[in-house]
Each structure stands twice: as structure tokens, then as C-alpha cells.
Structure 1
Amino acid sequence: MDAPGFTASLVAGGVAGVSVDLILFPLDTIKTRLQSPQGFNKAGGFRGIYAGVPSAAVGSFPNAAAFFLTYEYVKSLLHTDSTSHFKPVKHMLAASTGEVIPFSLVQFPLWESLKALWAWRRGHVVDSWQSAVCGAFAGGFAAAVTTPLDVAKTRIMLAKAGSSTAGGNVLSAMHGVWRSQGLAGLFAGVLPRMAAISMGGFIFLGAYDQTRSLLLEVGRKSP
């Protein structure tokens, strides 16, 4: 990765992270309360859903910047021909290196594949708004299929100290939810999670592509 690409990925990633946190933080709070074992109202309901937004936004800039910098760098190391069947694997490796979570392993290869498909159908590289739409679809799908893991994480975070759930075993937490609440419990909060992450994917990946494209264009025009 050259110097302009490094700077563009770093700044664009940070801008994307701050943008999505400022806009969608309240929805994540609502989703977490829906997944709480004590119920939505007892967990706080709609009270204080904006609490913590400033600190989250400040922290998201370096995190998102580091993620996208790593993502683009690993992609450049694993550069393959555009027709290669290895491309989805490349995007999975790049995403997992930047942030090792199952969500990214679903979202980013799907995002890149949707962009490639749209570009092939239209005969040109996708615009930033088209990238954002692809990000929304990819984010919504990834949100749906990883909701049980998110429910387990929430239960572990909210578990009483010393309990078996507080031990941090994700599979055990998922099994406990399945036994007590069934499939509905495992997918608690799936709709607000999908809505939030779809909007987040639109804003996050759209803002990233737009900002990175603008910075690269400025870099090319600079003497």
C-alpha cells in the first residue's frame, strides 16, 4: 500500500466509525436491553439511550481507522486477479485480521461480492452510494445470522458474578438460552439489530468509500 492509500484508509476508516456511532448508538442500546434476561423495561427501556455516545464516538475513530487500515493492507498483500475464485477468501482473511469476529467474516466478503456483482452488471466500478447499499444488505444479513452469538455475548456481560454464564462460555450461554426460551430467545432483538446494522453498514461502508475516494482524488491532484 502506498502512502496516499495508507492515509486515505486511515482517515476514511476513522470518519466512518465516528459517523455510524453518532447516528446509531441509541439503537444498539435498545437492542441490548431487548436481549436482557430481566426484560426490556427493567433493563431501562427507552431511558438514557444516548448515554455514552460521546465516549463511544471518540473511541471509534482509532478503532475503525486501525481496522480499515489493516483490512486494506492485507487485501493488498493478498492481491489476486479480479476473476479469481480466491477473492472471497481474501476478503475473509482481511476482515478477520482487522477484527476477529464471525460478523466481519460474513459481512465483508458479502459486501465485496455484492459490489463486484453490481459493477459487473453496470459495467463500471460502483459509486459510493451503491457501495453503501451493498453494505446495508451485507450488514443486515450478517446481523441476522450472528444474532444468537450476540445474544450469548449480552447474557455473559449481564450475568451475575460467579454464575456459570458469567464464565464466558459462548456455546454454554447459547444452550442456556435455547433451553429456557427456545429459538425466539436466541433471536431476541433480531429486527432492531438488523435495522441498526443495515443502517450502520450503509453509513459506515458508504462513508468509508466516499471519504477514501475523495482523499485519493485529492492526492492525485496534488503536485
Structure 2
Amino acid sequence: MREAYHVELEQLAQNLAVMSGQVADAMERATQALLDADLGLAEQVISDDAKVDDARADCEEQAYALLALQAPVATDLRTVLAAIHAAESLERMGDLALHVAKAARRRHPDAVLPEQVRDDFAKMGKVAVRLARQAEQVIKTRDVDAARSLETEDDAVDEIHRNLFTVIMGNDWPHGVAAAVDVTLLGRFYERYADHAVSVARRMVFVVTGKMPGYGSDEDV
């Protein structure tokens, strides 16, 4: 019975890792759709979002069943609680990729991004996807050092995000208010996506150490 229980715990972790891969794929495609005004990719991200929602529901159902039926304690209890919170963060990451894809679709066939900020978004997209892939590996390995390394990657996204405000508030911004609003919202989506990836990694630190690293408010999309 206990062996089956631990198999279920491991399966829960594997399901979370798969979910992290899903949202990494979603942001990778959404970023490409944004940069290339690719309607097909945008539509794929939009239609696939339901799979991420279903994955979260499955993870939470499995976690609550383990709580109710197995009454886990110590590390096992931390694993189940972390899974519930991580599934929520991963689902929000999927939503943020969805928002990016919808922006690309809304402006199609026109490009959303002025040339002036394309490189910034290309960089943010690469880092955001890398963070999600790293979170996937952290879920699988529970490597505390690897989990903590995500903080540095997140700082890079924060720096680019801050730079975007400097660009759109500058006197030489020629693209108007609508473009500035698009850039502001899209920058926020990437910044929040990265924050949620870090939150997932922090949950894995909690599983291993029993201590939740300090963090700011990362609960709102």
C-alpha cells in the first residue's frame, strides 16, 4: 500500500513537470507569433490553453485525493501542498502565454511590436521559456541549487521590463498611445510569467528543506 502511495506521489510530480513543459511550449509559440505576426501559431496557443487548464484540474484532484486518503506528513505533505500551489502558478503561466497569443491575433495581419522593442521581447521570450524549462527540471530533480538559480534569470526579465518603460516614455517614441499600451501590457505578461516560474521553483525548495524562500506578491496574473 505504501509503495503504491509513493508511486502516486511521484506521478503527481511527473504531471507537474509535464505541465511546466506545456507552458514553456505555449510561451515559445506565443512569442514567435508575436514577433512574426503568425496567426497560425497564435491560434495554436489559444486552442491548447484548455489542455493546461485540464492538467491543473487533474493535478489538484490527485493532490486532494492523496490528502484525503493518505493523510501525508512531513516531506510527503509538503510535496502535496507544493503541487497544489505549483499547479496554480503553472496554469497562470499558461494564461499569460495565452494573453500574448491573443495580442498577436488581435493585431493580425499587422505586427504588434514596433521595431524599436522587438529585440527586447525576443530576449524576454527566450528567458521566460528557459525559466519554464528549468522549472520542469527542478520539479523532476528537486535540485535546490538549480531552483535558486532561477532568481538570477528572473532578474534579467525584470531589467528588460524596466527598460521598456524608459523606451515608451522617451521623447523619441513615435508610435503613439495604442502601441505604448500594447508594449506595457505585453511586458507585464512576460514579467509575471517569469515570476510564476520562480514561484514554482521555490515550492520545490520548500519540499526539500521545509522552508519557503521569501518572495514578494506573485499571486496575481
TM over 0.5: no
> TM-score, with normalisation over the residues of structure 1?
0.29
